[in-house]
Amino acid sequence: METIQLRAYAKINLGLDVLRRRPDGYHEVRMVMQTVGIWDELEFERIGEDVIRISADMQELPVNENNLIYRAVKRMKAMYGIREGVSVRLRKKIPVAAGMAGGSADAAAAIHAVDRLFGLGLSLAEKQAVGVRLGADVPYCLMGGTALAEGIGEVLTALPDTPGARLVVAKPNLNVSTKFVYENLHAERLSRHPDIDGMVESIRKGSLQGVTERMGNVLETVTCRSYPIIGQMKGLLMENGAMNALMSGSGPTVFGVFSEGERARQAYDAMEKSGLARQLFLTEFVGTEGLDERV
Ligand code: ATP
C-alpha cells in the first residue's frame, strides 16, 4: 500500500494584534504568521477497512475524534465520498498547547495527505475551505511561509519570505489555554497595538531590523501578568543578544530572533543553563522554498 510521509511545521507570530471581540465571541485579529523549523512527522496509509486509525508517540495526546488529524480525515472522507480508511502515525515534536499551532499543522498535513492518497487534485483554496471548519489557523498551515492573517485568522495574504534569522524557541513548564487568554483579554481597553502594517512593509522591503523593531503581541497583556516566567524568559533572550523577543500566539512559548548564529547558540546555552525552559529549540525561519521539501 502507498504511504505518504509529511512534515507538519510549527508557526510563530511575529506580530499579533486583536482589534475587537465580535458579537459571536470570536476575536478579530491581525497577525503576521511565520513558519519555523520545528515539525511533526506524519505517515499516512490507505487501509481497506473503513476506519480512521491514529497512533502517536506521545501518550497525553488523544487518538480519537478529539485529535484534529482525525477530524480532518473524517471531514475529507465525508466531503469527497471516500469509503476506504486511513491509518496515521504521528511523531510529535511541536510543543503542545504552546501557541505554535501544532494541532492545526497536523490537520493541514492530513488534508494534504488525503488529497494525495486518493488523487483528489484539490487546489489550495479548496483545501483551505475544508480546513477553516477545523480551526482558524488551519488555512494558514496549509500554505505556510510568511503571511498576514486577518478576520479570525482565516483571511490570508501571502508575503515574501522574512529575511533569514536564527531563532531560540523556548516553552516554560506550564500549559496555557487559548480560551483562558482570550477570555481575559480586554480588547477595547488595549492602549498599545503593534504596528502590523509597518511590519508587513518591512517584510516587503526585506528589512529584518524593521521586522524585529515592530514585534508585539497584545496577548502578553494577559499571560505576562499571570505567568511572570514568560517575561523572565524574554529578558534572558534579550540579555543574550536577541534583536527582540516575544511570546508566540496565546503562549506560553517565547522566541528570540538573532541575526547571527553564534549569538543564538549562546542564548540557547544560557536558556538551557537557567532551567527556565521545559522544551528548547535552536532553529530558523522557514521560507516557501524550504516548504517544497516538506514531503
Ligand atoms: P494554537 O497556537 O493554535 O493556539 P496550541 O499550540 O495552543 O495551538 P495545540 O498544541 O495545537 O495548541 O493543541 C492544543 C490541544 O489540542 C492539546 O491539548 C491536545 O489535547 C489537542 N489536540 C488535538 N489534536 C492534536 C494534535 N494533533 N496535536 C496536538 N494537540 C492536539
pLDDT digits (tens, 9 = 90+) for 67-102: 999 999 999 999 999 999 999 999 999 999 999 999
Please give the Cα distance from 95 to 39 (Å, whole number): 10
pLDDT score at 18? 96
Q: Ligand 1 atom closest to Cα of 135?
A: 3
pLDDT score at 25? 85
Q: Is the pLDDT of residue 295 over 60?
A: no
Cα–Cα nearest to 44, from 78, 69, 16:
69
62 pocket-lining for ligand 1 (C-beta < 6 Å): yes
Please give the Cα distance from 247 to 253 (Å, whole number): 6
- Backbone angles phi and psi of 212, in degrees to 5: -70, -35
Q: What are the helix (H) ranges across 80-169?
A: 102-117, 124-131, 138-143
Q: Is the pLDDT of residue 140 over 60?
A: yes
pLDDT score at 78? 96
117 pocket-lining for ligand 1 (C-beta < 6 Å): no
Residue of 17, 106, 115, 137 marked catalytic: 137
Q: Is the pLDDT of residue 289 over 90?
A: no
Assess whether 106 carries a catalytic annotation. Answer: no
The sheet carrying 166-172 orders its strands as 244-247, 254-258, 166-172, 277-284
Please give the Cα distance from 145 to 94 (Å, whole number): 17
55 pocket-lining for ligand 1 (C-beta < 6 Å): no
Please give the Cα distance from 105 to 259 (Å, whole number): 27
Please give the Cα distance from 154 to 168 (Å, whole number): 27
Pocket perturbation via mutation, ligand 1, pick of 39, 69, 96 by most ligand atoms within 8 A of CB = 96
What's the gap in Å between 240 CA and the centre of ligand 1?
30
Strands 155-159 and 146-150: antiparallel
Please give the Cα distance from 10 to 167 (Å, whole number): 13
Please give the Cα distance from 45 to 3 (Å, whole number): 5
pLDDT score at 9? 97
User: CB count, 10 Å around CB of 74?
Assistant: 16
pLDDT digits (tens, 9 = 90+) for 20-59: 998 888 899 999 999 999 999 999 999 989 999 999 999 9
Please give the Cα distance from 101 to 94 (Å, whole number): 8
What's the gap in Å between 138 CA and the centre of ligand 1?
12
Assess whether 11 carries a catalytic annotation. Answer: yes
pLDDT score at 292? 61
CA 229 to chain centre: 21
Please give the Cα distance from 264 to 2 (Å, whole number): 41
pLDDT score at 294? 55
Q: Is the pLDDT of residue 290 over 90?
A: no
Q: What whole-number percentage of the chain has pLDDT above 90?
A: 88
Confidence of residue 274 (pLDDT cuts 50, 70, 90): very high
